[in-house]
Copies of this chain bind each other. A is one copy, B any other.
Amino acid sequence: MSGRSPGSIPGAAALVSERWARMAWSRVAEPETVLVRDWVEAHGAVESMDRLLSGSLAPDGRFDQRIAALDLDQARRALDRLHVRVVIPGDDEWPLGLDQLESPPLCLYARGTCDLAVADGSVAVVGSRAATAYGLRVAADLGQGLVQRGVTVVSGAAFGIDAAAHRGALAGGGPTIAVLARGLDRAYPQAHEGLLREIADNGAVVSELPPGWAPYRQRFIARNRLIAAMSVGTVVVEAGLRSGSLNTARTARILVRHVAAVPGPVTSVQSAGCHKLLRETDALLVTDAAEVLDLMGRLSLDAVGPARAPVTPESDLDSLARTVWSAVPVRTPADLAKLQRLTALDTTTLLGVLGRLTMLGLVVRVGERWRKVPAPRR
């Protein structure tokens, strides 16, 4: 099949911008399409979209149907109407953890009052839809306890544990981020329309799917990877043995994030997945928000009190870690050579400390370079 002349696409002039090119890509390819990731990586989003439209990139025509449906003028109107913004890698508010994914999202559609950078240093609280009263209570307590300690709560806005975690975070004053497995034109689940509005007012609702895209099984799995990657760690509150939240935990483990699980009665099938995680993986047992923070490395945040005290990593680190942390730039990531010049440390030591700082959610690695994670903003 031949391509479609850019001239025939409404609003195609915008495709000279990285943002619009990525948006166009997100309307053509499913999340985690490795081929598209490779093209965008090799040629950039603008150039590869140009090649796609000229028919030279995918001569087998596999994207033709979606290309034919592209209408960027309409897309722009929809975003305006929905109060949705498009965030791309390199933006200040791009959640840096996403860069560690094998297939990062092409862009994020976002609605809400919070800069998505509040995801840096966040904790994901997830679990099953069919939660028990016990699980709901623990998830809400965790959500509230985490935000009261300055930590953003990320979840999937699903029934059960997800919703309870968001509600707890809202009760604690937020922020909280809901990552959806459908486009932001509709609430999903529908019954959570009010909850999602509240989340947007006190955080953000995001998706890598364009407005209008519906949730399918594969898109849930893809969504779970965003939750795992955005946060420094995932806490599973309740999970049956086949709960999707175990899949989020698995991704978190692969991404070298912290994984924790809340135990429950051994007589409850809704805790069986958590107990399995605790028995068969290196997931750690947590019983409250303080223990989550303890695990995730910010040992002394709790002692900093009162709630909402600013994060002051300087006070939480040993002198070696503080030296390195001070050397890492806030905005433009620095490479190893530069950090070595600034710290006078050998490569092994430096990489070790950078790893620790990354796990602490204080520093983020962007390719072969490092930069500070911004302190939570409110």
> Is A72's CB within 8 Å of the partner chain B?
no
> Is A338's CB within 8 Å of the partner chain B?
no
Interface residues of A in 137-173 (CB under 8 A from B): 137-138
A284 touching B291, Cβ below 8 Å: no
A263 touching B284, Cβ below 8 Å: no
What residues on B are CB-neighbors of A262 within 8 Å? 266
> Is A267's CB within 8 Å of the partner chain B?
yes
Cα A138 to Cα B262 with chains together (Å) = 19
- Closest residue of B by beta carbon distance from A272: B287
A285 touching B267, Cβ below 8 Å: no
Shortest C-beta distance, A144 to chain B (Å), equals 14
- B-contact bits for A89-127, CB 8 A (1 contact / 0 none): 000000000000000000000000000000000000000
A138-B267, A263-B263, A265-B264 known; A279+B284 contact, CB < 8 A: yes
> Is A288's CB within 8 Å of the partner chain B?
yes
B285 touching A278, Cβ below 8 Å: yes
What residues on B are CB-neighbors of A291 within 8 Å? 279
What residues on B are CB-neighbors of A272 within 8 Å? 287
Cα A239 to Cα B139 with chains together (Å) = 24
> Is A275's CB within 8 Å of the partner chain B?
yes
> Is A220's CB within 8 Å of the partner chain B?
no
Cα A307 to Cα B137 with chains together (Å) = 39
- Closest residue of B by beta carbon distance from A138: B266
Cα A284 to Cα B263 with chains together (Å) = 13
A137 touching B267, Cβ below 8 Å: yes
Contact of A285 among B137, B265, B279, B286 (CB under 8 A): B279
Question: Please, could you name 6 A-B residue pairs with CB atoms under 8 Å apart, sorted by A?
Answer: A134-B265, A263-B275, A278-B285, A279-B285, A279-B291, A285-B285
Q: Which 10 A-B pairs rank lowest in CB-CB distance, beginning with the nearest?
A: A263-B263, A266-B287, A278-B285, A279-B285, A275-B287, A134-B265, A264-B265, A265-B265, A262-B266, A138-B266
